[in-house]
Amino acid sequence: MKKLLIGLLIFLVVGCTLSDKKDYVNEQEVFSFANDINTDITINKYTIYGRFFNLEGETDINSNLTLVLKNNDKEIEYPIYREENKTKFTTNEKINDGINLESIEEGTYVVLLKSNEEYYNLKDASGKNYKELEYYTITCNKKNYKITISFENILDKSYLILTCKETKLPNDIYDIVIDPGHGGVDVGAISGKYKESTINLEYSLLLKEELESLGLKIKLTRNGDTDIYNYGEKGRVSIPYKSKAKLLLSIHLNSANLNVGNGGIEVYIPSNSNLNFAKSIASQVVENTSTIYSKNSSCRVEKGVYLRTLTKSDLEELENDAKKDGYTPYERATTNSTYYYMLRETGGVVTGAYIDGRNPKKPGNPYYNSNHGCESYLVELGYLSSSTNLNILLSEKEKYVEAIVEAIKEELKNGC
């Protein structure tokens, strides 16, 4: 009797889980066009970075190719990018661009390619066995939607399925992560009695408060003057992954031995990014505070926007470190890799995270191979080493924070 009851319980639990997950399998109407779908096109990679879902693959079909999310009611079309006469295609040109998951309407869709009114199914050849992608939309009017993307077997065939459903945001899921740079024994830059770590925290706490008043759910990487590991499961880089954050702002202050005049703002971006959001943060701060665009021209890609990548000598140093510690060097690090770890290690495969924990003496990045990463920026608010800039940083905190909030509001306007 006891065995029978346990058996029944297992049947009920397994049965319920299956029927919950595969809700749409029975919704035949979603796939009433299944017979019109042509042979498979190969997908090598599918990722989420920040708010953007993207995929890349290969096909010989070379005319008018688009990507569609399709069900019986709707068909949403997205552009496909590829070089002329090349078989490789992608759905984005920059990492923070592509299919914006914030604009998907509730429903279940099949992800297909379309060319001259013909539909083509997608076949997963990534060989990565990625887990189901789970995305929570940014809180808007107290509402959130959960989007899942995965290959599912339906009617004996594998399809890439995207579902979007209203949901209650789980406790451990956040919209944005703010990272007050340094902390504890690592104070960062110093000017007289002023420590970078303290000012970073004060700015981050106020930024959190202001964003929360807009209804956004914000997580800080540290709430007090505490030490925090960079890597490992509890490390700084793991927080954006675990919280499935869409945006990360790492807050820092600069310092330089050279004469930097009156200092100024520098916003650092990861490699291959579209500059719009970084430009907007810098320009809002310059317009609404007494600070200026930094005069530092090293790594500058645009007024106030900077991209620092690993140099050949940085790579040599990494290689030597690896040899010394007796492990294989990080194979994915190149001269296009972003220098700052908070930008590089929080985007998974999209930003080329490479700290994979092979170094036995140091904890790694448990998510370095993840196909779901966070869109990250590092903001050097100003120079502690410039007395003019330090005075502005101390006296205009509210104006700075207001300016960053404006840039975030503008960036998320499609989402809310």
Quick one: which of 188, 240, 263, 373 contacts Zn ion (CB under 5 A)? 188
Residues 6+ apart with CB under 8 A from 65: 59, 80, 82, 89, 113, 114, 115
Closest CA to 284 of 416, 415, 396: 396
Residue whose Cβ sits closest to Zn ion:
252
- Residue 252 beta carbon to Zn ion: minimum distance, rounded to whole angstroms: 4
With 0-12 CB in 10 A as exposed, 13-18 as middle and 19+ as buried, what is 51? buried
Q: Give the nearer residue to Zn ion in terms of CB position, either 77 or 227.
A: 227
Query: Radius of gyration of the chain from Cα atoms?
Result: 24
Residues 6+ apart with CB under 8 A from 26: none
- Residue 188 beta carbon to Zn ion: minimum distance, rounded to whole angstroms: 4
Q: Give the nearer residue to Zn ion in terms of CB position, either 352 or 382.
A: 382
Residues 6+ apart with CB under 8 A from 218: 174, 175, 176, 177, 178, 207, 208, 211, 212
Q: Give the nearer residue to Zn ion in terms of CB position, either 98 or 183.
A: 183
| Sheet order of strands, 176-180 included | 218-220, 176-180, 247-254, 375-383, 266-268, 305-306, 300-302
Q: Give the nearer residue to Zn ion in terms of CB position, either 181 or 348.
A: 181
The Cα-based distances of 247 to 178, 362, 405 in angstroms read: 8, 27, 13
Q: Is there a contact between 218 and 178 (Cβ–Cβ < 8 Å)?
A: yes
- Residue 380 beta carbon to Zn ion: minimum distance, rounded to whole angstroms: 7
Q: Give the nearer residue to Zn ion in terms of CB position, either 188 or 352.
A: 188
> Mask 27-56, x = binds Zn ion (CB under 5 A)?
------------------------------
Q: Give the nearer residue to Zn ion in terms of CB position, either 195 or 252.
A: 252
Q: Give the nearer residue to Zn ion in terms of CB position, either 104 or 269.
A: 269
- Residue 181 beta carbon to Zn ion: minimum distance, rounded to whole angstroms: 4
Q: Give the nearer residue to Zn ion in terms of CB position, either 181 or 373.
A: 181
Quote the CA–CA distance of 270 and 96 in Å, as a whole number.
10
- Residue 340 beta carbon to Zn ion: minimum distance, rounded to whole angstroms: 10
CA 350 to chain centre: 8
- Residue 253 beta carbon to Zn ion: minimum distance, rounded to whole angstroms: 6
In the block, residue with structure tokens 């706490």 = 205
Residues 164-183 that bind Zn ion (CB under 5 A): 181
Alpha helices in 213-359 (DSSP H): 238-242, 276-288, 312-325, 341-344
Q: Give the nearer residue to Zn ion in terms of CB position, either 181 or 183.
A: 181
- Residue 407 beta carbon to Zn ion: minimum distance, rounded to whole angstroms: 20
Q: State the virtual CA torsion across 112, 118, 124, 126 in degrees, nearest 10.
A: -90
- Residue 225 beta carbon to Zn ion: minimum distance, rounded to whole angstroms: 14
Quote the CA–CA distance of 180 and 200 in Å, as a whole number.
5
Residues 230-289 that bind Zn ion (CB under 5 A): 252
How many beta carbons lie within 10 A of that of residue 339, not counting itself?
17
- Residue 195 beta carbon to Zn ion: minimum distance, rounded to whole angstroms: 11
In the block, residue with structure tokens 């990014």 = 273
Interface with Zn ion (CB under 5 A): 181, 188, 252
